[in-house]
Amino acid sequence: MAKSKKTRRKEPKVVATVLPVKEASPKKNGVLIFFLFVLVIFTSVEIFMVAQQKIKQNKRPEFIMSWPSEYKKGLTSMGEYGDFIYGVENTSTGLVYKIDKKDGSLAFLFQLPELVYSAVQDSKGDIYILDKKNTIHVFGPDNKLKKKINVDDAKTAGWIEVDSKDNFYVVDLTSSIITKYDPNFKKIFSFGGRGIGNENFTNVGKVFDGPNDQLYCVNMLDENKAQIKIFDSNGKYKKSWLIKNVKKFTFLENLAILPDGYVYLNSFADSLIYVFDNNGKFKGTFDTDIGKKFLITSPSSITGGKNGIIYVATHDLVAFKPIKY
């Protein structure tokens, strides 16, 4: 029998094809380099601006002077009027400290039988102290009681402020209505009230007299959320802005307002001073001055600004020059 022949399978011949590589045109290379250059510049500018913003937010005021305080429990409100600062200490009895701005000395201590909410002084030197029973105690420049005024227009009068023309503003905490009185304490008009419109408040607390007698009203929107609403002296709404970056509100915050509308706000909870521009833009915080001569500790309160000096009451009373941004 003849042997069968094995047939060898032919492997297919592989032919490698080399495709020519197209070189990028000089035009496309130029576009790519330009794009990368713009990206680098943009990133560098952004990093620089963020760094500059951080530097601004960490700016500190210039220290002027500090004086040992004669109050130990902390002031829940302060006001600068004429030559004096009036500090209120909310304890079981109403303590109001009349402090001389020149040397920080205690000019007089008022002690009322009831809890005190706020104290102001008019241009004649008369002192108006509001207590929790809707009564305003009026003292003369000699610190002697002249008369008492019952605030019948408010259910819960919780704050009093006075403007440059000796007009008074009283806040009703129950209705969030603000009533304006003339220098003789006769009612002129009321505005505000609870509501959601520009003219209304969710829960207004403290009111501060600002530049051109504009009223800066602290409106509590929710827990740890508040805004500043600004009205003119006729009760007409001007503008408002949210108070941002403050972690916690305690209803014990006060304002110092500069002639240019910059607002300094004390955080009673964390002993920081927050700064906002006249449109409410957050500018930064501080708890000490440029030279670190004075440290703000808990609790703190603030006033001033009208004459270019900020006063902070903490363990001592301190005067700062406002920050230049």
Q: What is the pLDDT of residues 33-53, one digit of tens each?
A: 766 666 666 555 555 444 444
Per-residue pLDDT, 51: 43
> Worst-scoring range by mean pLDDT, 27-36, 57-66, 121-130, 255-264?
27-36
Phi-psi region of 107 (alpha: psi -120 to 50; beta: other; left: phi over 0): alpha
pLDDT of residue 9 exceeding 60: no
pLDDT band at 249 (very low <50, low <70, confident <90, very high): confident
Per-residue pLDDT, 36: 67
Average pLDDT, the chain: 87
pLDDT of residue 96 exceeding 70: yes
- Write out the chain in H/E/C secondary structure: CCCCCCCCCCCCCCCCCCCCCCCCCHHHHHHHHHHHHHHHHHHHHHHHHHHHHHHHHCCCCEEEEEEECCCCCCCCEEEEECCEEEEEEECCCEEEEEEECCCCCEEEEEEECCCEEEEEECCCCCEEEEECCCEEEEECCCCCEEEEEECCCCCCEEEEEECCCCCEEEEECCCCEEEEECCCCCEEEEEECECCCCCCECCEEEEEECHHHCEEEEEEEECCEEEEEEECCCCCEEEEEECCCCCCCCCCCCEEECCCCCEEEEECCCCEEEEECCCCCEEEEECECCCCCCECCCCCEEEECCCCCEEEECCEEEEEECCCC
> Worst-scoring range by mean pLDDT, 122-131, 234-243, 246-255, 315-324?
246-255
pLDDT of residue 16 exceeding 70: no
Closest among 159, 112, 88 to 313, alpha carbons compared: 88
pLDDT band at 193 (very low <50, low <70, confident <90, very high): very high
Tell me the residue length of the chain. Answer: 325
Dihedral over Cα of 155, 159, 163, 166: its sign: positive
pLDDT of residue 20 exceeding 70: no
pLDDT tens digits, 289-323: 999 999 999 888 999 999 999 999 998 999 999 99
**Angle ∠(230,255,138) on CA atoms, nearest 5:** 95
Domain spans in the chain, listed from the N-terminal domain onward: 59-71+253-325
Per-residue pLDDT, 90: 74
pLDDT band at 25 (very low <50, low <70, confident <90, very high): low
End-to-end CA distance of the chain: 112
> Worst-scoring range by mean pLDDT, 23-32, 76-85, 222-231, 294-303?
23-32
Per-residue pLDDT, 298: 84
